[in-house]
């Protein structure tokens, strides 16, 4: 049901419905490299991960991507998903901030000032650690501008797809009400019937 090409321009309606503004969209795309619902892993090898990093412009062509890089990246991705579960009202897995803190350290994220007087977080590390650092820098920026709270993981545990909540009162909890919202309601109904 989900794939990155859909998020990156296949279906315009879906694009508007769930995509995040500006640079936060990259974070959403990263989390959605795993589709739990369909058990599809886009980052299933260091080569596949490298291809993804090249596609989104986070890595230079000459950089190496090895198995431990991939393992760390997937740990970071799932820690980010855990934060998005919390954004949707779920409990925060206490391991997630620890994982992200370690990744930020490895990336050597530091506050840099540009000649124009603006500032941003930039990784000192190169390669995959630096690429992960750039993703985390976008997370930090979204946390400070308030857009982070709207990036959520679908409340259906078997889905957990990352989506941007465009509802006026920030009350969205399903990636798509027509799909997961109704499925969750049907599951709850069946549970009540079974208990009765």
Contact segment (CB under 5 A) with Zn ion among 13-21, 107-115, 154-162, 186-194 equals 154-162
Residue with Cβ nearer Zn ion (35 or 122): 35
Partnered with residue 110 across adjacent β-strands are 122
Residue with Cβ nearer Zn ion (90 or 108): 90
Q: Coil, strand or helix: which one is 129? A: helix
Number of residues written out for the chain: 196
Query: What is the rounded CA–CA span in Å between residue 160 and residue 82?
Result: 9
Q: Exactly one of 154, 162, 173, 184 binds Zn ion (CB under 5 A); which one?
A: 154
Query: What is the rounded CA–CA span in Å between residue 184 and residue 126?
Result: 43
Let me know: does 34 contact 77? Beta carbons within 8 Å: yes
Contact segment (CB under 5 A) with Zn ion among 24-32, 55-63, 136-144, 167-175 equals 167-175
Query: What is the rounded CA–CA span in Å between residue 138 and residue 58?
Result: 12
Binding residues for Zn ion, how many (CB under 5 A)?
A: 6
- What string marks each residue from 20 to 59 as x (binds Zn ion by CB under 5 A) or -? ----------------------------------------
- Considering the rule CB under 5 A, would residue 159 count as an interface residue with Zn ion? yes
Query: What is the rounded CA–CA span in Å between residue 185 and residue 110?
Result: 45
Contact segment (CB under 5 A) with Zn ion among 27-35, 107-115, 125-133, 151-159 equals 151-159
Contact segment (CB under 5 A) with Zn ion among 10-18, 68-76, 119-127, 161-169 equals 161-169
Partnered with residue 115 across adjacent β-strands are none
Residue with Cβ nearer Zn ion (82 or 131): 82
Which CA distances in Å does 119 have to 22, 99, 135, 173? 17, 25, 16, 33
Q: How far is the CB of 14 from Zn ion (least distance, A)?
A: 12
Q: Which residues bind Zn ion (CB under 5 A)?
A: 154, 156, 159, 161, 175, 180
């Amino acid at each position: 049901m989900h794939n990155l090409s859909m998020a990156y321009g296949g279906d315009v309606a879906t694009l508007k419905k769930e995509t995040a503004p500006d640079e936060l969209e990259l974070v959403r795309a990263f989390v959605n490299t795993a589709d739990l619902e369909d058990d599809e892993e886009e980052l299933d090898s260091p080569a596949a991960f490298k291809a993804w990093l090249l596609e989104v412009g986070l890595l230079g062509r000459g950089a190496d991507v090895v198995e431990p890089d991939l393992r760390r990246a997937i740990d970071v991705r799932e820690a980010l998903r855990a934060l998005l579960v919390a954004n949707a009202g779920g409990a925060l897995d206490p391991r997630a901030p620890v994982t992200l803190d370690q990744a930020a350290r490895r990336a050597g994220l530091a506050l840099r000032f540009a000649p124009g007087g603006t500032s941003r977080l930039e990784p000192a590390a190169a390669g995959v650690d630096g690429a992960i650092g750039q993703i985390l820098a976008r997370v930090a920026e979204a946390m400070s501008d308030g857009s982070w709270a709207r990036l959520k993981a679908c409340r259906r545990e078997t889905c957990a797809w990352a989506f941007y909540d465009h509802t006026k009162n920030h009350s969205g909890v399903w990636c798509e009400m027509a799909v997961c919202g109704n499925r969750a309601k049907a599951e709850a109904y069946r549970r009540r019937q079974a208990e009765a």
